[in-house]
Amino acid sequence: MEPTISYHYEEIKWINGRIGFWDMSGNPVMRTIWQLIYRNVKVNAILYVINIMDISDEVLRENNSHISLLLNDECLQASCVVLVFNTFNDVDSVDEATKNQLFVKYKVKDLINHYGNRIHHIFVDCKNCKLDKNWIGLMQQISCYF
């Protein structure tokens, strides 16, 4: 699955209605318009996709900075943020040590302690997420925001 170059919008039928998804690129040019979208469209949840194959210090700093900005933006205070750790393959093939290392690097425990149920996380192969039962479980868990 190739990264999103600009943006894509799609709606899906869910429980009592429809959910709209904005797939926004994380490239520097597109990041400048994130606020234009979420300040003008009701946002219930942000799914922040993290490439677990790229854990360079620069990428970690950049991702942690963006996650913090999203969690602290006044327009998103009623929204949850889901850290989607993209495994690019079978989720079960990612060992617990790797998951724990990512939790530490992304300060997941601190985020949960500070933001409570506004912060969620999941390990998923984004390319095959429709086949992952954990994905459906996460959607049910955060559906209270919709």
Contacts 24+ apart (CB under 8 A), 126-131: 126/1, 126/49, 126/84, 126/86, 126/88, 127/1, 127/88
Q: Classify residue 86 by burial, with Cβ atoms within 10 Å: 0-12, 13-18, 19+.
A: buried
17 is in an annotated binding site: no
Residues 138, 143, 144, CA angle at the centre, nearest 5°? 125
26 is in an annotated binding site: yes
Q: Are 64 and 106 in contact (CB under 8 A)?
A: yes
C-alpha 22 chain-centroid distance: 12
- Encoding tokens for residue 27? 């490239």
Q: Which amino acid is located at 52 in the chain? A: I
**Binding site for Mg(2+): residue ranges?**
4
Q: Which residues are annotated as a binding site for GTP?
A: 26
Write out the binding residues: 4, 26
